[in-house]
Amino acid sequence: DVKVTQSSRYLVKRTGEKVFLECVQDMDHENMFWYRQDPGLGLRLIYFSYDVKMKEKGDIPEGYSVSREKKERFSLILESASTNQTSMYLCASRLDRDEGEKLFFGSGTQLSVL
Amino acid sequence: GQSLEQPSEVTAVEGAIVQINCTYQTSGFYGLSWYQQHDGGAPTFLSYNALDGLEETGRFSSFLSRSDSYGYLLLQELQMKDSASYFCAGRNSGNTPLVFGKGTRLSVIA
């Protein structure tokens, strides 16, 4: 089975801190995604990457950046954390665009910014 | 872009059948997917409809009507463990990522 691992299950940070959320997948998937999930708002796409060193903005990229230096790893960076970035962050991967519907999700990182 | 609408909550009795609807508005459409997420868990893929009609996988079925921009997830013989959030999702083309609806929270009661 595909395994998508997010480095932290819970994270507490202070306003203004730089925050790194790490995601690793073990099935050689080409595509990786970062979503945030908030009650009543569902899953919203922050950034995605179709290949190493490639990145594209999703629907809500403001305040975030990403890094994909290796195929298996996709990092989400909060340059200066703010309280409105308190959320559940979900990383996902898929084999490629031809397998576009089947995403494999990590267990999520619940980030609290105080 | 994509916009998918689904009810926020549904309650059903154990052993019964429940249907969760999803309507979408999009400039293009590549098919409708469904995901399940238990509290505290990761979303997991349930089904995908690329063409009109019904797809069955055990107790779960999914339906798509492109002409009506509408689909649904049908859960039969409901069990308590089916209590979860269900998300419909779609994309405009092969090159675009999935966009999710806001989710339907299903509560199965005894």
Q: Which secondary structure element, helix H or strand E, spans residue B30, and what is its range?
A: none
Give the residue-averaged pLDDT of A2-19: 94
Q: Look at A96-100, B21-25, B79-83 and tell me which has the smallest mean pLDDT.
A: A96-100
pLDDT at B83: 98
More confident residue, B96 or A112: A112
Instruction: Judge whether residue A99 has pLDDT over 70.
Output: no
Mean pLDDT score of chain B: 92
What is the band of A54 on the pLDDT scale with cuts at 50, 70, 90? very high
Query: Using CA atoms, how far apart are residues A61 and A55, in angstroms rounded to an integer?
Result: 11
What is the band of B94 on the pLDDT scale with cuts at 50, 70, 90? low
A32 has a chain B CB within 8 A of its CB: no
Contact A101 B95 (CB under 8 A): no
Contact A42 B87 (CB under 8 A): yes
A26, A72 Cβ separation under 8 angstroms: yes
Instruction: For residue B101, give the nearest of A33, A42, A92 by CB distance.
Output: A42
Give the residue-averaged pLDDT of A12-40: 95
Instruction: Judge whether residue A56 has pLDDT over 90.
Output: yes
pLDDT tens-digit readout, B5-56: 999 999 999 999 999 999 998 666 778 999 999 999 999 999 999 889 999 9
Distance of residue A79 Cα from the nearest chain B Cα, in angstroms:
24
Mean pLDDT score of chain A: 93
A93 has a chain B CB within 8 A of its CB: no
Structure tokens at A100: 């576009």
The gap between the terminal CA atoms of chain B, to the nearest Å, is 40
Contact A101 B98 (CB under 8 A): yes
